Amino acid sequence: MDHKYFQHSDLAKVYCEKCNGCGDCCHGMTDTIHLDPWDIYQLSSGLGKTFEELRAAGILALHEEEGMILPHLRMQDGENGACPLLSSDGRCSIHPFRPGLCRLFPLGRDYDADTRTFRYFIVDNGCDMPGKIKVRISKWLGIVELSEYEKYVSEWHYFCKDVKSFLASSDDTAFAQQLNLFILKVFFVTPYVIPEDGSSDFYSLFRMRLTQARTVL
* Ranges of each domain in the chain: 11-214
Cα–Cα distance between 126 and 208 in angstroms, integer? 36
pLDDT tens sequence across 112-148? 888 878 899 999 877 777 778 899 999 999 999 999 9
In the Cβ-directed half-sphere of 150, how many Cα atoms lie within 13 Å? 21
- Burial profile 30-66: b = 16 or more Cβ within 10 angstroms, e = fewer: eeebbbbbbbbbbbbeebebebeebbeeebbeeeeee
- What are the pLDDT digits (tens) for 58-113? 999 999 999 999 999 999 887 778 999 999 888 899 999 999 999 999 999 999 88
pTM metric for this prediction: 0.92
Specify the pLDDT at position 132: 82
> Under a CB-based contact definition with an 8 Å cutoff, are residues 193 and 138 in contact?
no
Q: What is the pLDDT of residues 17-43, one digit of tens each?
A: 656 566 778 888 888 899 999 999 999
Helices 146-168, 37-47: inter-axial angle, 10-degree rounding: 120
Position 20 scores a pLDDT of 59
The sign one gets for the Cα dihedral 48, 52, 58, 63 is positive
